Structure 1
């Protein structure tokens, strides 16, 4: 929590409050604009105040959120730290670093997508590592103010000790034993257990959270949590501040109930304040169980650490598609969705399509990222407005399922008897009328003495193949005592016509066949 004892998560008196008076804007107390997690410091961990769901009025005021938080653990100099804060890591250099790494990649952040804005979507984040800084003498005393913390962060960033903040960077700062942090007149481990705030460097906001020392004997060890293990109380407080920084990062510079304030209840504070000191065990991405604080889910009107997975909802509708052709692609999906805002869906229709002309029943199965699924069915009707089988000689093309077929056309008719041969300057020229239905012609030539019926002889040759004109020329000269014969046939996409038939007594008998012209 931060800039605004705005959200004194559990004020000394045990409640949450926003210091304000009069109209909302005028009542936003910027002087108290550091958002602390407040808990009573008494020997026994206090009971968190019960807040009725009906009393919650969480409002989005138009400010930014952290889309994918990048946590950097900052160790504030040398000194004594709670075991695990500055040592003991398994996957990172510290045990607390392990916590950040595991929790930012866990379902603990998934459901925060219910706090997406029109321009930003909240997802899982990551851990950028642990960095130990050496604060300046001016800022490294036993008492450190929030202004000094911001000043030191700016100096460390400028010196390159801390990486320059990105839009999602969150510096989580741990302080050693013997350090008292002052937030206005409030004191760490007396008035608050932690807070998150907003600073500026080179004209850009940066976000940070302050975690006082939790070693045995400190005020925070006595009053900041319900768990008998101090490290668990620390992770609960850290998770509280981290999630609030994700959903309301710029609270530290807010001066009105409007931007850059983000998700905030003017009476009860941020989503961590509403659920202050309500803990859960959470399995991190590393398989280790950690203690985290529950956060307010406006969608469920309750305090949760993670949401249960719900099966997606498959919704289908009948589809009719008109196409030129015999198949079409179509989707029967009618806004299938998942109640869980963080889930992604895969869609598997069966059969998958494209679908043939006519009616096909299709079953759609939608599956979420956890493997839960649901199905629905609908009809796809493909209405063909015509098709082309790609065969030029067919007519009446029509669909039969996914196949388009037409009625084959006949090959060209026989060339009629109007074939004229003329000779000029030693060149024979043949003219003919193109056969009915033909798009081209073949001209065959051979010796009269070898004119066969049936299949042609070895002497014949193709004078012209696939001629688009109705004439051909031949300058060759037959042997003495011989002559040439010429035969013409039509051809088209539907096949070849005939060269003719042998005639006997006025009747056609054996067809003249030749493979010389192709």
Structure 2
């Protein structure tokens, strides 16, 4: 989902290709040839995902839902189970997302042939919770795959005309089910008017897998985008210029071998480590806890019990590094004070281009 920060209102505003305002409640996978920004469909050299403090789906459990006579149901079940245990999914480790799992989906009868996200799809999911058919947690993701001939609208855009798929968020805290959000995806049938515009593979099922992987990766790394209204939490991994992890690489297909040994077509995703769109990372997997970008930051430096903690306050984000030298020898002279031989503990804080060093008292 591509958003533009408007400083005057401190809110997200994005313009859809048809000239209407795109709500923040979803992340669109755009149809080929439709762009919200010239950088989309290209891995911009300046692309970089920044963490804003929101939730990720750290151990996803995919629960597919098939609305009406959706095609390729058994293959889709296998796809989600396979790719969440693949080298492609391992790219997400740098964003604190681990491998996941999937359960076989279930079908529901189609009651409409035209659905709107806010008026139909979100109430449909909420009703599934109330009737006990789904039990969302912080790790569940519900991609809804629709039967052929069903059209979907969201924020003024139409399926297979503007977007190929999207993912969103519903705040379900009022339902008291033990989790705050429900994470879902909307996957229109990739035949009909979607065919040829939502993927370059000659096989419809492969283009469906590519679109589904785009939304899966984005839901895992930016789970609560649907309730984000400012450049901060609950937004998670996001690039102000290029959008989410799948948007940067929109429609760039690759392949991966799933945990079941089957090769699946997927969409490439952005890797900060590789500075590129990839189907697998060429860098060692390093899981890091990224600093949250804020206008004012208070960082508490935690040091061992033998030292005194220091609090560093800045007006911009700071990278703080604590180094404690090993104790070589201690002596207790007649005065009763203990002295430590070796280098003292230091705390380094990097502010812009200046390095400030603090000496901690023993």
> Could you state the TM-score of these two structures normalised by the residue count of structure 1?
0.50
* Deviations 1:377-413 (CA, angstroms, capped at 9, x unpaired): xxxxxxxxxxxxxxxxxxxxxxxxxxxxxxxxxxxxx
Distance in 1 (alpha carbons) for counterparts of 2:8 and 2:267: 32
Distance 1:282 1:57, change over 3 A: closer
Matched, 1:68 2:59: yes
Shift of 1:300: 1.1
Contact conserved, 1:133 with 1:156, CA < 8 A, in 2? no
Could you say what secondary structure the match of 2:196 adopts? helix
* Deviations 1:393-440 (CA, angstroms, capped at 9, x unpaired): xxxxxxxxxxxxxxxxxxxxxxxxxxxxxxxxxxxxxxxxxxxxxxxx
Shift of 1:51: 3.3
Give the equivalent residue in structure 2 for 1:170: 141
Distance in 1 (alpha carbons) for counterparts of 2:24 and 2:260: 38
Distance in 2 (alpha carbons) for counterparts of 1:144 and 1:95: 25
Contact conserved, 1:28 with 1:256, CA < 8 A, in 2? no
Shift of 1:28: 4.1
Contact conserved, 2:31 with 2:163, CA < 8 A, in 1? yes
Q: In structure 2, which of residues 280, 285, 288 is the aligned counterpart of residue 340 of structure 1?
A: 285
Give the equivalent residue in structure 2 for 1:496: none
Distance in 1 (alpha carbons) for counterparts of 2:227 and 2:79: 28
Give the equivalent residue in structure 1 for 2:205: 231
Give the equivalent residue in structure 2 for 1:36: 28
Could you say what secondary structure the match of 2:190 adopts? coil
Give the equivalent residue in structure 1 for 2:124: 152
Contact conserved, 2:12 with 2:229, CA < 8 A, in 1? no
Contact conserved, 2:85 with 2:259, CA < 8 A, in 1? yes
Give the equivalent residue in structure 1 for 2:265: 291
Give the 5 Å matches for 1:402-421: none
Larger Cα-atom Rg: 1
**Of 199-208 and 272-281, the range deviating more from structure 2:** 199-208
Distance in 2 (alpha carbons) for counterparts of 1:57 and 1:249: 18
Distance in 1 (alpha carbons) for counterparts of 2:276 and 2:33: 26
Matched, 1:130 2:91: no
Matched, 1:26 2:11: yes
Distance in 2 (alpha carbons) for counterparts of 1:19 and 1:103: 32
Give the 5 Å matches for 1:306-455: 306-308=280-282, 339-341=284-286
Gaps of 5+ in 2: 15-21, 288-362
Could you say what secondary structure the match of 1:222 adopts? coil
Larger RCO: 1 or 2 (CA < 8 Å, sep 6+): 2
Contact conserved, 2:11 with 2:230, CA < 8 A, in 1? yes
Contact conserved, 2:24 with 2:227, CA < 8 A, in 1? no
Could you say what secondary structure the match of 2:104 adopts? strand
Give the equivalent residue in structure 2 for 1:113: 93
Shift of 1:41: 6.6
* Deviations 1:211-235 (CA, angstroms, capped at 9, x unpaired): 00112xx121130001111111110
Contact conserved, 2:5 with 2:240, CA < 8 A, in 1? no
Matched, 1:98 2:78: yes
Distance in 2 (alpha carbons) for counterparts of 1:126 and 1:226: 27
For this pair of structures, how many residues does the alignment match? 270
Contact conserved, 1:144 with 1:182, CA < 8 A, in 2? yes
Shift of 1:294: 0.6
Gaps of 5+ in 1: 1-6, 8-16, 87-93, 117-121, 311-338, 343-518
Give the equivalent residue in structure 1 for 2:332: none
Contact conserved, 2:238 with 2:245, CA < 8 A, in 1? yes
Give the equivalent residue in structure 1 for 2:152: 181
Give the equivalent residue in structure 2 for 1:276: 250
Shift of 1:143: 1.1
Distance 1:24 1:52, change over 3 A: farther
Distance in 2 (alpha carbons) for counterparts of 1:230 and 1:48: 23
* Deviations 1:17-68 (CA, angstroms, capped at 9, x unpaired): 42554447234468343211112379xxxx97323222x1421111010111
Distance in 1 (alpha carbons) for counterparts of 2:168 and 2:208: 18
Contact conserved, 1:71 with 1:128, CA < 8 A, in 2? yes
Shift of 1:246: 0.3
Distance in 2 (alpha carbons) for counterparts of 1:281 and 1:40: 19
Give the equivalent residue in structure 1 for 2:50: 59
Aligned-CA RMSD value: 2.1
Contact conserved, 1:24 with 1:256, CA < 8 A, in 2? no
* Deviations 1:214-261 (CA, angstroms, capped at 9, x unpaired): 12xx12113000111111111000000000000000000001111100
